[in-house]
A and B are shown apart, each in its own frame.
Chain A
Amino acid sequence: MKTRYLLAIESSCDETAAAVIAIAEDGAFALRSSLVASQVDIHARYGGVVPEIASRTHLEVALPLIQDALREAQIQRQDLAAIAVTRGPGLIGALLVGLQIAKAIAFAWKLPLIGVNHLAGHLEAVFLEDRTPTFPFLALLVSGGHTTLYRVDEHGQYKHLGATRDDAAGEAFDKAAKMLGLGYPGGVQIDRLAQQGDPSRFPFPRSMMRQDQGLDFSFSGLKTACRNTLEKLALPLEPSILSDFCASYQEAIVDALWQKTALALQLQSLSSVVVTGGVAANSRLRSLFQNQCQKYGYSLFLPSRRFCTDNAAMIAAAAVPPFLQARFDDLSLNATGKLPLDPSALPRGPRRPPRSTQNT
């Protein structure tokens, strides 16, 4: 049986990544290399992702990274059968670096090109694992920019069920970390400090929890509660109070994520759930979802941490179905900052803010 190799490039945000997978004739695939040039140190100084810096750094590291990915996979460029690249959504300057490199390689090495939606990559990342879900399943995609529930009926078929109405869960972590004077990325710092903390010490709100409010999330009220709570405390917080604060805040986010996930499983009559995206690397999220799924008899699929945060292996995995069906893009492929997975999505519940009784 002839093995075909696919190279994937990811550069939608602050990570440049390259990966190689081997695809067998029957469509089964195995990861051969997956490299991420972490730019976290550069961004830490700015308290967040800085787009122009991201583009420049992508440009510096992308080519050596691709060479390393091929070397680690122990293949030559002649062995490649296709190249896949993230085409959106993301920061346009960052996306364009990866896309232009992929197009140049496709042209020069005469390879078919496959443009991949970054979010589809996150949802397909679970297929890089040995244990994979069967269709249909529920997917919670939770990251710095996204907090969205999808029903996945088939590779590439994602139905939008609900999403955050204001801040993403990862953003809620980052902004609280900023208020607490912790470093970037905030979720990692809060996760670490929360390990020793008491999650019941500070009563943070869980918003949008009424069933009639559907499957949308809201984290901006929690952010405000974080600030209001901090204003009543003596700063800087004592280590034990800081730990309790982080644990309580984290619990509010993770609990809200679980409550909506449980509701979606119930409403959609699904028994399997995949949690993916950068926030899925949070250790409390992983333990709470494991406990709850065990308790209620759901099958939980948590891709390993390296496939949850941005990486190129997931882009390669998402490119396998179009590769097998020879659905390729031509060199006019463009990057798109906004690229919804399910353009037909109509959110549930009321969208307009409630009007005050005092009509203006």
Chain B
Amino acid sequence: MSETRSDSIWTCSPSETASVGEALGRLLQGGEVLALIGDLGAGKTCFVQGLASGLEIPEEAYVRSPTFSLIEQYEGRLPVYHLDLYRISDVDELESIGWRDCLDGEAVVAVEWADRLEGYLPADYIAIRLLSKSPEQREIQIAIHGRCPVWWEAWIDLL
């Protein structure tokens, strides 16, 4: 599971962070696992809201923080699972919310607080780290683990 490819983007507002998510969402083909890592308030949910736009999830779906509900499911041009592990403390709990069922190879799986999943991520996943550089600025680091998705070159060309 070595990091093979990575990329880094700076944003200056929540709407720019969402725009990066949206651009990525437009490229996804299904089956990708996105591991979102960042502190409270770094913009993980904001990124997923943009991602949802790019995946054509309808506006009335109210994509929002799943901290309380733990898992949300949306239908866009691809099915999407949105998980939040903030309140999860061990792997048994993860299994009990249906983690295995999400990895069906077709759905896009976006996992907030994925650093709590260490060792349980599939071989192929995309790590998305959101780092606060100032109150407004974020560095978004995207790293491909395992197999390189077919859209990676298109992603690099975008930037």
Give residues in A with beta carbon < 8 Å to B.
46-53, 55, 89, 91-93, 144-145, 163-168, 170-171, 175, 178-179, 220-221, 223-224, 226-228, 337-338, 345-347, 350-356, 358, 360
Selected contact of A351 from candidates B15, B59, B89, CB within 8 Å: B59
Selected contact of B15 from candidates A48, A53, A227, A354, CB within 8 Å: A354
A167 to B154, CA, bound (A): 33
A90 to B68, CA, bound (A): 9
Contacts of B69 in A (CB 8 A): 89, 145, 337-338
Most B Cβ at <10 Å: residue of A163, A168, A356: A356
Assess whether A352 is in contact with B53, with CB atoms less than 8 Å apart. Answer: yes
CB distance from A353 to the nearest CB of B (A): 3
User: A167: nearest residue on chain B (CB-CB)?
Assistant: B65
Most B Cβ at <10 Å: residue of A50, A92, A220, A346: A220
Comparing B91-99, B102-110, B118-126, B141-149, the segment that makes contact with chain A is B91-99
A49 to B67, CA, bound (A): 10
Contacts of B71 in A (CB 8 A): 337
The 10 closest A-B pairs by CB, nearest first: A351-B59, A145-B68, A353-B18, A224-B41, A48-B87, A360-B23, A228-B135, A227-B41, A356-B16, A356-B19
Contacts of A52 in B (CB 8 A): 92-93, 96
A191 to B15, CA, bound (A): 32
A-B interface contact total, Cβ < 8 Å: 111
Q: Mark B55-85, 1 if CB is under 8 A from A, else 0.
A: 0000111101101111111000000000000
Assess whether B23 is in contact with A356, with CB atoms less than 8 Å apart. Answer: no
User: A144: nearest residue on chain B (CB-CB)?
Assistant: B68
Contacts of A166 in B (CB 8 A): 45-46, 49, 64-65
Most A Cβ at <10 Å: residue of B15, B50, B62, B86: B62
A185 to B16, CA, bound (A): 33
Interface size for B (C-beta < 8 A) is 43
Give residues in B with beta carbon < 8 Å to A.
13-16, 18-20, 22-23, 39-41, 43, 45-46, 49-50, 53, 59-62, 64-65, 67-73, 86-89, 92-93, 96-97, 132, 135, 158-159
A347 to B132, CA, bound (A): 31
**Known contacts A49-B87, A226-B41; A220/B59 CB under 8 A:** no
CB distance from A355 to the nearest CB of B (A): 6
Selected contact of B62 from candidates A163, A179, A220, A228, CB within 8 Å: A163
User: B73: nearest residue on chain A (CB-CB)?
Assistant: A338
Selected contact of A175 from candidates B40, B72, B89, CB within 8 Å: B40
Assess whether A48 is in contact with B64, with CB atoms less than 8 Å apart. Answer: no
Contacts of A337 in B (CB 8 A): 69, 71
User: B134: nearest residue on chain A (CB-CB)?
Assistant: A228
Contacts of B158 in A (CB 8 A): 360
